[in-house]
Amino acid sequence: MKYICETLTYDIHIMKLFVKNIDKDINEMQLEGLFAQFGKVISTKIVYDTITWESKGFAFMEMAKKEDGQKAIEALNGKEVRGRELIVQEAEERRR
């Protein structure tokens, strides 16, 4: 019997971003559209409260290229979007 195992590999050039102070009414498609002008967005994940399902006001994103992520940080960090000043930075690995 043969088992085929598929593994996912990540490109070392991907940049993970942490975005906070986002308006609670912004959805993932809108946030992705904002960042897409700087390059390919691989994933967007807004964090929601598990009881109320309201946005907690922050998100994690992955950009296909580190350079694109850096461009997004430079352009959007401190930029006002819907009356709130975004904070955009490179995400840090979770400490366990």
pLDDT in tens, 38-61: 999 999 999 999 999 999 999 999
For the stretch 68-90, pLDDT in tens is 999 999 999 999 999 999 999 99
CB 78 within 8 A of CB 85: yes
Q: Which domains does the chain have, with CATH numbers?
A: 15-90 (3.30.70.330)
CB 41 within 8 A of CB 62: yes
CB 61 within 8 A of CB 31: yes
Distance CA 53, CA 57 (A): 12
Burial class for 77, CB neighbours closer than 10 Å (0-12, 13-18, 19+): middle
Give the model's confidence band at 7: pLDDT under 50 very low, under 70 low, under 90 confident, else very high: very low
